[in-house]
Structure 1
Amino acid sequence: MKTSSDYLGRRLAAVPRGVATAAPVFADRAENSEIWDVEGRRYIDFAGGIAVLNVGHRHPRVMAAVQAQLERFTHTAFQVMAYDNYVELAERLNAAAPFSGPAKTILFTTGAEATENAVKIARAATGRSGIIAFAGGFHGRTALASAMTGKVVPYKRDFGPSVPEVYHVPFPGSRGGVTIEDSLRALDFLFAADIAPERVAAIIIEPVQGEGGFHVASPELLKALRAICDRHGIKLISDEVQAGFARTGKMFGIEHTGVEPDLVAVAKSLAGGFPLSGVIGRAELMDSVEPGGLGGTYGGSPVACAAALAVLDIIEEEKLLARADAIGSRLRARIASWQGRNTLLPTTGLRGPGAMIAFDITTTHGEPDGAAAKAVCVRALEEGLIVLTCGPFGNTIRILVPLTASDEIIEEGLDKLELALTA
């Protein structure tokens, strides 16, 4: 029997170190919220493939839909010969769009493609080039997406000059006591010092920062940004790649704020583990690009579209919006009970909507402790739990358990996480 160590040696020899792997074990099979490695060890999955598996591993409805599509065809390229489930999925996403009025959807493969194409559409619609993003935000690793990402290490270091005309302002609450007023003041300074608002095509923001530490964009901030965009003709892009598809207790994270964006980037949990992303936008904006200006050879794979249609059915029929809230309440109550216990590492900053939950590991003096958080993940893996860190200091523990996980599995995972937090 091959071991994870055997595969790890081959991985190190064959795959560059630039792509990191959090857990030094190799998956063999998975069901719902559990994974077994090649040595037969079982793990509870609190990472969900980084927010990809809101409906769990290999949901039967997803697998059946994919198998049915495999019996028909696997690829034509939508630009060559269109197919029905691409159109049906676009119709379903248009109907769910978090804004009023007619919507249209285009499909791609990765989250970075979604954010980049949302920017391309905004630029075409406005005739402008400037883009404003937020410190701590993560929008992907391709050239434009990494330029919008508000963190240098490891996403920008050593890669040369960044794409021009991308600017950043502080995100409230993410570090250093930044307030909403501070962020808006920085935006005013940006307009005065670097780029006139009449040259800005779009402001892009995650309603809940993912890699940035699960910090929530408040309704007050989003309403202020919406007013600024309306005043200056700027388009507002909601990056829902990590927060979308029931994770926060709403279909889209921005729905918690009552603010309507102009464009929405989606990916991750859209297709239950199959590569699929897209941009949902106001119809008049989406039609601002001439034919051939958008697309991709694999964009909107018919197999992934079949999976996504099943995912949308599962979210509705299994009431996963309500389930996300119930899971979140369970997680918050248990994590809150750990705070102040001298037998556990210090934890603070419990936060997040729905089942998009995080908390911070600190020193006894309240300083961020990224090394301790990393050690927690290592000990959790030894206990049979997969969990990840995030945040500007690497000290945030984030929980992205599948929304289809049972209460018993979630409690078992929390037991393992509590053991990993033992001081």
Structure 2
Amino acid sequence: MFEKILIANRGEIALRIHRACREMGIKTVAVHSSADADAMHVRLADESVCIGPPSSTDSYLNIPSIIAAAEITNADAIHPGYGFLSENAKFVDIVTAHGIKFIGPSADHIRLMGDKITAKETMRKLGVPCVPGSAGEVMTLAEAAQSAAEIGYPVIIKASAGGGGRGMKVAATADDLSEAFSSARSESKLAVGNDAVYMEEYLSTPRHIEIQILADGQGNVVHLGERDCSLQRRHQKVLEESPSPAMTDQLRTRIGKTVADAIRDMNYDGVGTIEFLFENDEFYFIEMNTRLQVEHPVTEMVTGIDLVQAQINVAAGYPLTLRQEDIKFSGHAIECRVTAEDAVTFAASPGPVTEFHVPGGLGVRVDSALYTGYNIPPYYDSLIAKLIVHSNSREECLLRLNRALEEFVVSGIKTTLPLHQEIVHNAEFRAGSYNIHWLEKYLAER
């Protein structure tokens, strides 16, 4: 087992990884920008190293500085968390070349799944159902028009190397295609330096369902059920739950086995998430995330499995002792992503936190790096806390979530806590009758 792990991230996920390491008897190294010198994970880690100024480009994305920090502290391994360098194959190559273990899949698997066109082709060959679409990259408007005619309108144009909704545009009719195609390419180029796009059928009322997997690269693979991530704003997840209100045991078994078989055939190791659009009881692959997900706690709550510790064990070479029949799903869990934003305008709201009080009680978990007096810097993602609630049923979970939201206090800044309170009281949400377009429609009409 590793003796010391460097955590190449910040915020709540850095603290989450530190806690998992501490419970395993592993020492931690926190890296931080100058803006995060007072961060909670920095305060709690065994060692800390400043790796640059506030800009993430000069700090959390600064590969030489992170490698140097690992070397001077004699870290055995690096855990990337999510975001930043977590799916950067070049970073994995460099970490490995320096004799340090990367806690995650191989660079080859990251590259394979990082390009959405290649990922889709790979999954189709492995028997995973995919959204009908173009055979590969669509390079010209003429090709786009031909593909759209074959697929049928409406179509969605997606960036091959994009993510988080970047480079994603819908063309409802042929008249919309030129602008959507041009916009998707230019947006993708600006965001990730790659303007390659492809096309898919635009499903009208799908849910966003993702399957969590855990594999050891030694032939052992389990799936840990699904998460429903359909509540989204601008393609960004706002609330997640497990199990999905739309799922049945039969559907879960079917898609879980399909995914597990594909991952085993890939000889994949580590945690991963296979994301689908789900409509009319059919699953359509959209992408694979080769890292820990922000919403992993809901899976932990319904399975009792610590995914970060599982990641670390697999990276250390230990085979999975879990078998699919060992996975038991218990109750229901919901996660609310709380951000430092105005709940109406969604304008960012960094600044000092004058009061911070988290809810407690049975089945309530808060993953956050905030504390009273902490000054939220303006340089990074606005996520400040995750409220996760678990209970025996969805109905009980909603009651507990409502109570927990009433207890949650964050003063000095604006947050999206009021939005989550609105959602929990909404009759359609409580009935589970929502899809990926529901939240944006609700926000437009409220």
Query: Normalising by the residue count of structure 1, what TM-score does the alignment of the two structures yield?
Result: 0.28
Higher strand share: 2
Query: Normalising by the residue count of structure 2, what TM-score does the alignment of the two structures yield?
Result: 0.27
Q: Higher RCO, 1 or 2 (CA under 8 Å, sep at least 6)?
A: 1
